[in-house]
Amino acid sequence: MSSFVELVFVLPIWVIFAAALLQTGRLLFSLAKYPFADEMEEGCFSFGLGAALLATIIWALGLLSAIGPWSVGTLTAVLLGSWLATLRSFGTWFTSFRRHLKALFNFQNSFEVFLAWAAALSLLVTLTAIASPQLGRDALAYHFYCPKEFIQKGAIYPIPYSVNAFQPLLIQMLYLQGLLFNSEVFAKLYNLGFLLGIAGLMASACRIFEPRGRGLAAGLLLLTATGFIAQTPYAYTDIALSFYLFLSFFTMWRYFREPKMPFLIASALFTGIALATKLLAVPFAAALFLLLAWRAIREKGLGGFRLLLLFAFIALLPCAGWYLRSYLATGNPIFPYFNAWFTGHEWVSDIRDQTGIGRSAAALVRAPFLFFLNPERFGGGDSQVGILALILAPLIVTTRLKKEDRTRLLFLVASQFLFWFTLVQHFRFLFPLVPVLYLLCGLALEDLFVHRDRSWRALKALVIAAILTQTLFIFYYNGKLSRYLAYPSKADYLSATERSYAMQTWINSHLDSSAAVLLENEPSQYYLDRPSARLDILIGLDPRLGTMSGEERLAQIKTRGFTHAMLREARGSGEASSILQNTLTRSGARLLHEENFIYGGENSHTRLYELSHE
Amino acid sequence: MKNDRIFRWFCFIWGAVFFWLYIQTYVIPRAYELFR
């Protein structure tokens, strides 16, 4: 319940701060005289630019070892102050934005009213879930863990034995701001901002492809896309990535329609921000770059290279620092991926991940269907696109589009799908395509609902049933998170639902501050307030550890300064699953504490050993 | 093409088949888990 109270207080503050970021972005765009089509576009673009600018400044402060409540607090105050100073200009924009919204929400049929209700309910349950104390595995392993470590040190530094600390972490800089103000809710609300940003741009994006299109349906439909909405309450970065890539896709298409420089520059800038958000932006950015190259070279010949160079140069501005930092520290700009290629030292990474259905020709044909029917095979039932896109597939394929648009979209979708299929088959990694897919769904539905014909009724009923199921699943997944409302405190909720929370808080209260803990079979380090590292990463960084005998390995671990080991095993996997267990027992390491965890079908058992130092 | 009667029925049957499969493979197991 206490988290919900936090939401009630933090939400208005976050909204005001988001307005300040938006205003900062607006001022920058007005300096460049960017030709916005409408107020919605101006709002979404400006919020995106403002947030990226804030994150970049926090990153720069971090590199100067100047992260602290004072520096980030002053930065926040300056942004709020400049918003107050330009309140009149903001007010003018806001008045026309409200007028624009009113015109957009002028419902034309009962289907749009139904969609608006579905979207509103989905947003409501998502907002409640955003206040839930953080559980997501990756969030605890690095999206929140890295900023927390940076705050403790007051600097962006290479966290020992952490591979993620070298990756581009632009959005984590925004999380850092929230965590610094002691509010996880504030940090996670950025996700909601990015989600609404994509939904808001749908109407404008629809009009690029169909000038008579309203686009309201596409925007509202996106708010019922199960996977997207189920990820919003977690401190992950896939939604932010999809937002920035959608912005660069959108502006690139604007440029294809009307080859004006501001569109190209904006597209390059947003591509760069996406590249600073997550490594996964690379394939999408590469596809957009190839589309641009194809057009530029065909139309302008060798002169087209100048455009491409300009695009690449601007795209590198926001992200080059991150890749350079990784290169200087590890010799690999995209550490830990393709490490053997850059440094000759192999790193067992996600690329060997076995999630998915294999890479045979039959799998290639089955994968697009199984996304919808059996999403567990691709890394979780909740990270799915929703059934609507599959139901509408024949309509999407036959939607009226210009020939060149059809070719370009086909290239974009096929290249992303093939990249995903060959490398890592986690559905989450296809998220950047979801807004494009929902845009196409929206266009297909505009077509469908234009026909008032009786024979389309059966299909319309099916579409409504599909949207209802998607919305119900948002209640299913985000409703599960909302169980925190039944617990008196955050700690009670976490002890009951997060498998290592009880052990980690025990360590925080019982071990002295010089203790360093090695974790086996547990990537979550966020709730632990002692220096810690993961055994799998230790072995990844030094493969010799993997081939040593138990005793030698233990000696190596001790020489690296670890004083304790926390071993977690899932019930049923047996003792053999632990690399350290037998050695620890034989070497006489003292068992300090044990915790059992049973929740929602997950049983796990955690032991804490003190490594003897005689 | 969109005014083609056969195409309309094809769209409906395609959607209905996959919606039914979705209910079978995805919705029912979760509903079962929820009300178990």
Q: Is the pLDDT of residue A67 over 60?
A: yes
- At A291, is the pLDDT very low, low, confident or very high (cuts 50, 70, 90)? very high
Q: Is the pLDDT of residue A263 over 50?
A: yes
Domain boundaries, chain A: 2-480, 499-610
Are the beta carbons of B12 and A459 separated by less than 8 Å?
yes
d(CA B13, nearest CA chain A) in Å: 9
Spatial strand order of the sheet with A532-534 comes to A532-534, A517-520, A564-570, A602-610, A590-599
Backbone phi and psi for residue A62, each to the nearest 5 degrees, phi listed first = -65, -40
Neighbouring CB atoms inside 10 A of A312's CB total 14
Q: What is the pLDDT of residue A31?
A: 94
Nearest-CA neighbor of A237 among A423, A55, A442?
A55
B30 touches chain A (CB under 8 A): yes
Q: Is the pLDDT of residue A451 over 80?
A: no
Q: Is the pLDDT of residue B2 over 70?
A: no
Q: Is the pLDDT of residue A199 over 80?
A: yes
- At A380, is the pLDDT very low, low, confident or very high (cuts 50, 70, 90)? confident
Q: What is the pLDDT of residue A575?
A: 44
- At A6, is the pLDDT very low, low, confident or very high (cuts 50, 70, 90)? very high
Q: Is the pLDDT of residue A350 over 90?
A: no
Instruction: Report the alpha-carbon distance of residue A469 to residue A474 in Å, rounded.
Output: 9
Segment A319-345 shows an average pLDDT of: 90
Q: Is the pLDDT of residue A421 over 60?
A: yes
Instruction: Report the alpha-carbon distance of residue A372 to residue A370 in Å, rounded.
Output: 5
Mean per-residue pLDDT over chain A, rounded: 92
CATH of A499-610, one of 3.90.1580, 3.90.25, 3.40.190, 2.40.128: 3.40.190
Provide ipTM, 2 decimals. 0.95
CA distances from A67 to A155, A175, A553 (A): 6, 13, 37
Of A387, A455, A476, Cβ closest to residue B22: A387
Least confident of A169-173, A266-270, A365-369: A365-369
d(CA A537, nearest CA chain B) in Å: 35
pLDDT 10s digits, A98-145: 999 999 999 988 889 999 999 999 999 999 999 999 999 999 999 999
- Between CA B18 and CA B24, with CA B23 as vertex, the angle to 5 degrees is 95
Q: What is the pLDDT of residue A572?
A: 54
Residues of chain A with C-beta less than 8 angstroms from the C-beta of B28? none
B8 touches chain A (CB under 8 A): yes
Q: In the beta sheet, which residues pair with residue A8?
A: none
Q: Is the pLDDT of residue A262 over 60?
A: yes
> How many CA atoms does the CB half-sphere of A190 hold within 13 Å?
30
Q: Tokens in use for A411?
A: 């290239």
Contact A114, A215 (CB under 8 A): no
pLDDT 10s digits, A477-531: 999 999 999 999 999 999 999 999 999 999 999 999 999 999 999 999 999 999 9
Give me the amino acid identity at A254.
R
A466 touches chain B (CB under 8 A): yes
Of A387, A456, A463, Cβ closest to residue B18: A387
Domain boundaries, chain B: 1-36
Segment A232-260 shows an average pLDDT of: 96
What is the bridge-based pairing of β-strands A517-520 and A532-534?
A: parallel
Q: Tokens in use for A392?
A: 């509408």
- At A281, is the pLDDT very low, low, confident or very high (cuts 50, 70, 90)? very high
d(CA B35, nearest CA chain A) in Å: 12
Q: What is the pLDDT of residue A576?
A: 46
A392 touches chain B (CB under 8 A): yes
| Predicted TM-score (pTM) of this structure | 0.96
CA distances from A469 to A126, A461, A462 (A): 16, 12, 11
A455 touches chain B (CB under 8 A): yes
A286-290, A350-354, A519-523: range with highest mean pLDDT: A286-290
Residues of chain B with C-beta less than 8 angstroms from the C-beta of A393? 14
Residues of chain A with C-beta less than 8 angstroms from the C-beta of B25? 373-374
Contact A462, A391 (CB under 8 A): yes
